[in-house]
Structure 1
Amino acid sequence: MHAPSLLLFVSLLVSSLPAAAQYPTAPTPGQRSVSVSGSAEVKVAPDEILLNVGVETRHPRLDEAKKLNDESVRAALALLKRDGVPDKDVQTDYISIEPRYEYESDNRAALTQARAVPLVYVVRKSIGIRLTRVNEFENVLSGLLANGVQYIHGIEFRTSQLRKHRDAARALAVQAAKEKADALTQAMGVKRGAVQSISESYSGGWWRGGGGWGAGGGQMMQNVMQNAGGGEASEGGALSVGQISVNASVNATFAIE
């Protein structure tokens, strides 16, 4: 008895729905945008130096080669202690023992029968050093080379305030990106709108020079200091720690109004 009334109510309800609900509208086109990049470089003086040096000794007997190496390392560590370098900033981080052989053969045609005869043992150790008194770098290095150290494996000039300098470089990079976006949009007769996306990247904060067990310490040291940058030489010395760069880059996309 109530079926016709129910059907009439449902029909009226469907016919009253908005047209958009019955027929979805097409998506609106994406907003116009401009993508730019900005970069900045901040030059700072390093306030700490990471130095890695090496000691190498040779002897036909392994125990003597190790003994000579231990003596040279002790001399280097004693020099660092006299120069006031804290124990926590000194670490032995590489040790190797390499026997050098002369190969002989009972039958020259049969190399598989060759026997190895050790001629000499080569013992190597490296010492990692962190210097926070940068102005004493030259004296410490000269003292190490005069007290058992033969090799300079690496020198790294760093800043302990890397976060602060990265923040400064990032702020400059953001400003550069905004100015570039303003220049582009103004040239096209439009205005820069709100930022839609942004990303950042960093580099720098240190400068590294490297050597190796086969590298000549004096020549490598000369090259390191020539490439370190244009700072002033330490008073009374010939070496300069120069400056290091902290770089930041920003990629940003802005809406166009």
Structure 2
Amino acid sequence: MFRRHLVAIALLFPLSSPASADTAPRSVDVSASAEIKVVPDVILLDVGVETRHAQLDQAKRSNDDNVAQALAFLKRSGVPDKDVQTDFISIEPSYHADYSLTRPQIYIVRKSIGIKLSRIGDLEKVLTGLLSSGVQYIHGIEFRTTELRKHRDAARALAVQAAKQKADALAAELGVRRGPVLNVSESYAGGWWRSGSRWGGGMSGGQMMQNVMQNSAGGGESADGETLSVGQISVSASVSTRFAIE
């Protein structure tokens, strides 16, 4: 009696499978991206001071003097103390090629300074002044926007519109209509651009390629006599959506 009951239950499940498959909604999956170009309003600088000397105390003293010169210049230039930070320091002994010698030939002292510039028009003046005030390296220049959330929201809205238009076009070609959205996911990129690398190396930057582009602000042009231009940075958003089709 018990075995017959199990067989009866097992026979019920195959009968319900075709019915559940028929109720799955027909759908179309599309993805779209949007990019907005904005003028940066904040610049992050990463600069470095390097000194070398046979005596460790002299190498460190020279490095401290150069850093003090750079900090004094930044103060004179009106950069707030809260926007200046020493964020890296290293002391490295350098030995003769003959590794049997244990006494260092020289000591290398390195120190980096992070700087936030809210007046982007001061970029060239600050860079020139730093290089004349004890700084030997410009490790990196990073352009950012303080309104990243606003620009990302705008890029996402454009991406959603692009996804709808793409779904409508696909549905029309297939002789159906776009129905309600069944699923959606999003991702972001951009809002900053960086060049350079610490203590040597190449220059690096990023450009995203999207299928929608919109300029949200003009400007970014250099004034007469300047050799640096902040240009524009990209803020992008991508969406992947699934629409029902009717």
TM category (shorter chain) comes to 0.7 to 0.9
Aligned to 2:83, which of 78, 89, 110? 89
* Bigger-Rg structure (1/2): 1
**Which blocks of at least 5 consecutive residues in structure 1 are unaligned?**
1-19, 106-113
Match for 1:171: what amino acid?
Answer: A
Q: How does 1:128-139 map to 2 (within 5 A)?
A: 128-139=114-125
User: What is residue 75 of structure 1 aligned with on the other side?
Assistant: 69
User: What is residue 3 of structure 1 aligned with on the other side?
Assistant: none
User: What is residue 184 of structure 2 aligned with on the other side?
Assistant: 198
Match for 1:27: what amino acid?
Answer: S
Structure 2 Cα separation of the partners of residues 104 and 141 of structure 1: 40
Q: Is the 8 A contact 1:158 1:206 kept in 2?
A: yes
Q: In the alignment, is residue 41 of structure 1 matched against residue 35 of structure 2?
A: yes
Say if 1:33 and 1:214 are closer, same or farther in 2 by CA, change over 3 A: closer
Aligned to 1:174, which of 144, 147, 160? 160
Aligned to 1:237, which of 195, 205, 226? 226
Say if 1:256 and 1:119 are closer, same or farther in 2 by CA, change over 3 A: same
User: What is residue 13 of structure 1 aligned with on the other side?
Assistant: none
Q: How does 1:135-214 map to 2 (within 5 A)?
A: 135-214=121-200
Aligned to 1:123, which of 106, 109, 112? 109
Structure 2 Cα separation of the partners of residues 90 and 149 of structure 1: 14
Q: Which runs of 4+ in 1 moved over 6 A?
A: none
3-state SS of the aligned residue for 1:102? coil
Match for 1:152: what amino acid?
Answer: I
User: What is residue 52 of structure 1 aligned with on the other side?
Assistant: 46
Structure 1 Cα separation of the partners of residues 127 and 204 of structure 2: 13
Match for 1:254: what amino acid?
Answer: F
What do you get for the CA RMSD once the two structures are aligned?
A: 2.2
Match for 2:240: what amino acid?
Answer: N
Structure 2 Cα separation of the partners of residues 235 and 171 of structure 1: 37
Aligned residues: 219
User: What is residue 212 of structure 2 aligned with on the other side?
Assistant: none
Q: Is the 8 A contact 1:101 1:119 kept in 2?
A: yes
Structure 1 Cα separation of the partners of residues 124 and 204 of structure 2: 13
Percent of pairs with identical residues = 63
User: What is residue 20 of structure 2 aligned with on the other side?
Assistant: 27
3-state SS of the aligned residue for 1:115? coil
Match for 1:150: what amino acid?
Answer: Q
State TM-score, norm by structure 2: 0.83
Shift of the alpha carbon at 1:169? 0.1
Structure 1 Cα separation of the partners of residues 192 and 122 of structure 2: 19
Match for 1:140: what amino acid?
Answer: V
Structure 2 Cα separation of the partners of residues 64 and 24 of structure 1: 85
Say if 1:103 and 1:224 are closer, same or farther in 2 by CA, change over 3 A: closer
Shift of the alpha carbon at 1:83? 0.7
Shift of the alpha carbon at 1:103? 5.1
Shift of the alpha carbon at 1:224? 8.1
Q: Is the 8 A contact 1:42 1:246 kept in 2?
A: yes
Structure 1 Cα separation of the partners of residues 33 and 108 of structure 2: 49
Structure 1 Cα separation of the partners of residues 174 and 234 of structure 2: 35
State TM-score, norm by structure 1: 0.80
3-state SS of the aligned residue for 1:77? helix
Shift of the alpha carbon at 1:211? 3.0
Q: Is the 8 A contact 1:100 1:121 kept in 2?
A: yes
Say if 1:24 and 1:149 are closer, same or farther in 2 by CA, change over 3 A: closer
Shift of the alpha carbon at 1:55? 0.1
Match for 1:55: what amino acid?
Answer: V
